[in-house]
């Protein structure tokens, strides 16, 4: 355990180079799943991943795409490599998710229009899956269906040194993508601590509960800012998630309304962390019913949001669901 109660694991051993690349070791257990990378950068991580399995990478920067393609063209790659020039947050599943959540959560204003996504797969790596291309070309997609997928058309593991400014958003989408079976990512330490924290610690928040609701999340290690060039202002951390066979929330594409309702409850629960959980929830749910639920779960009425376990949040939500359905 760490200072925030996060679980550590040696299941996904990794190492960091001073060129700021995240490398997976040979004994990463992939179980025949596809590897997907967001942000190819200079290709340092990609090279290591290609030593393990075929790789599909996404990169928004056209100059970096050209650099990596030229670099890899001069090398003998151990496995097949696909590179797609695209903004992963503008792909159909992400856009449809954004529109769906906008509609269901706030119903205020219009969802952002779907913008044209620049996608190219060049050089000798042009044989990107036709199925992926078909999905990427569905620019007007606005519905989440059981056949929807985000980054690939078959089960995959996401591995990435995520840009700090979009890290949280990408992880939340990965949690909801039914084809993403897990990830190993690097983010700024503050983000990693929130996703990996255990109940009872101040870092424990709605992000912690969501991640723990779909699988086993573990903090692997931290990376000092001095390990990077140029040196950032913050420390980074690497953490992993392995999704369970069946999560508490179920498959998002089949239970999207349940997911959003649970997220909404968590938002209410953690809106004022220093206040009592009962008070936070009572602004949106019947206080008497909440008191009965707390009593059933042997929860003190003065409990704070960060003191309540993920499992108890599941129970609270389930009981509120039943009351609503009656």
Give the pLDDT confidence of 124-180 residue by residue, as tens digits: 333 333 443 344 344 333 343 434 568 888 899 999 999 888 999 999 999 999 899
- Spatial distance between the Cα atoms of 198 and 89, rounded to a whole number of angstroms: 29
Token digits of residue 254 = 């089949």
Do 231 and 286 lie in a common domain? Answer: no
Structural domain tally of the chain? 2
Distances (CA, A) of 69 to 124, 127, 128, 130: 9, 14, 14, 20
> What's the CATH code of the domain at 229?
3.40.50.150
Please provide the DSSP assignment of 116-167 as one string. PP-----GGG----HHHHHHHT-TT-----TT--SS-SS-EEEEEE--GGGH
Same domain? For 191 and 310 the reply is: no
Distance (Å) of CA 255 to CA 86, 99, 252: 28, 16, 5
Last residue of a domain, one of 232, 247, 262: 247
Q: Which of 221-230, 235-244, 260-269, 270-279 has the lowest mean pLDDT?
A: 221-230
Within-domain flag for 4: no
Say if residue 275 is in the same domain as residue 243: no
* Residue 115 resides in a domain: yes
186, 212, 247 — which closes off a domain?
247
Alpha helices in 161-286 (DSSP H): 167-176, 189-196, 206-214, 256-269, 277-282
Span 59-118, pLDDT tens digits: 999 999 999 999 999 888 888 899 999 899 888 778 777 777 777 665 534 433 332 322
Residues of the domain holding 49: 14-247
Domain assignment present for residue 9? The answer is no
Residue 48 CA to its chain's centroid (Å): 22
């Amino acid at each position: 355990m760490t200072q925030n109660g996060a679980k550590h694991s040696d299941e996904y051993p990794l190492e960091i180079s001073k060129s700021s690349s995240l490398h997976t070791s040979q004994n990463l257990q992939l179980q025949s799943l596809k590897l997907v990378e967001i942000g190819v950068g200079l290709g340092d991580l990609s090279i290591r991943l290609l030593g393990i399995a075929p790789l599909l990478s996404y990169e928004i920067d056209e100059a970096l795409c050209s650099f990596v393609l030229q670099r890899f063209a001069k090398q003998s790659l151990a496995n097949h490599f696909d590179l797609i020039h695209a903004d992963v947050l503008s792909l159909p599943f992400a856009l449809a998710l954004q529109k769906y959540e906008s509609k269901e959560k706030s119903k205020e204003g219009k969802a952002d229009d779907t913008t044209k996504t620049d996608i190219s797969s060049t050089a000798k790596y042009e044989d990107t899956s036709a199925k992926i291309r078909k999905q990427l070309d569905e620019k007007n997609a606005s519905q989440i269906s059981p056949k929807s997928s985000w980054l690939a058309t078959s089960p995959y593991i996401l591995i990435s040194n995520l840009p700090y400014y979009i890290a949280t958003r990408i992880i939340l989408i990965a949690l909801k993508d039914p084809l993403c079976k897990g990830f190993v990512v690097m983010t700024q330490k503050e983000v990693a601590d929130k996703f990996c924290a255990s109940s009872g610690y101040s870092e424990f928040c709605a992000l912690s509960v969501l991640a723990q609701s779909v699988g086993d999340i573990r903090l692997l290690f931290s990376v000092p800012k001095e390990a990077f060039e140029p040196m950032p202002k913050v420390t980074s951390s690497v953490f992993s998630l392995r999704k369970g066979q069946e999560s508490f929330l179920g498959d998002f594409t089949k239970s999207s309304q349940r997911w959003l309702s649970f997220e909404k409850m968590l938002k209410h629960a953690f809106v004022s962390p220093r206040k009592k959980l009962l008070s936070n929830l009572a602004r949106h749910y019947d206080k008497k019913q909440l008191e009965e639920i707390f009593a059933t779960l042997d929860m003190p009425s003065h409990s704070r949001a960060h003191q309540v376990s993920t499992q108890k949040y599941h129970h609270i939500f389930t009981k509120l669901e039943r009351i609503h359905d009656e």
